[in-house]
Amino acid sequence: MKINDYIRDIPDFPKPGIVFKDITPLLADSKALVYCADRLTSFCPKDIKIDKVIGIESRGFIIGPMIAERLQAGFVPVRKKGKLPYRVKSVKYSLEYGEDTLEIHVDAIKPGEHILIHDDVLATGGTAKAVCDLVQQLGGVVVQCNFIMQLEFLNGNDKLDVPVASLVDY
């Protein structure tokens, strides 16, 4: 199965000159969705028990729990500022157009836990790097980051000091 057959290009979204990679066709096809979760899970190290899978808001919330279930791990959402109800640890990070803040519950990760970070796309790497920083601040160990797709021409992989896996590279 070719996952990129289920990813459509949306020109000029969210602004002119950007080609948005839309995964909603992938999500709408049950066989493609299951295949995607199975393949992403297969990329995980076999010699390290993953304790938690982090899904990054918002598209990381879709397949992240599927990966966690397959790994018999817990699932942890990382959200934008003000969306989590309990005490949080926060990190600010840079975007192409400014700054944003991500948050995680302070008790979501215990020291020494092995963490897999999942999101739909690795672009410039700022978001994934910020989540890696949050995990480390809580004492967790990031084992790997995985993505449905990676926009290699943006060099986001260069910001990450952990193994990176993706199903589709553009």
Active site residue 59: yes
Active site residue 152: no
Torsion region of 64: left, alpha or beta (phi above 0 gives left; psi -120 to 50 gives alpha): alpha
Residue carrying the six token digits 């836990």 = 113
Axis-axis angle for helices 30-42, 60-71 (nearest 10): 60
How far apart are the C-alpha atoms of 123 and 98, rounded to whole Å?
15
Residues ≥6 apart with Cβ < 8 Å to 50: 44, 71, 73, 114, 115, 116, 143
How far apart are the C-alpha atoms of 154 and 170, rounded to whole Å?
10
Q: Which of 8, 39, 57, 59 is catalytic?
A: 59
Query: Do 114 and 49 form a contact (C-beta atoms < 8 A)?
Result: yes
Please choose, from the candidates 96, 94, 157, the residue with its C-alpha nearest in 3D space to the C-alpha of residue 122: 157
Q: Which of 87, 96, 99, 103 is catalytic?
A: 96
- Catalytic residue numbers? 59, 96
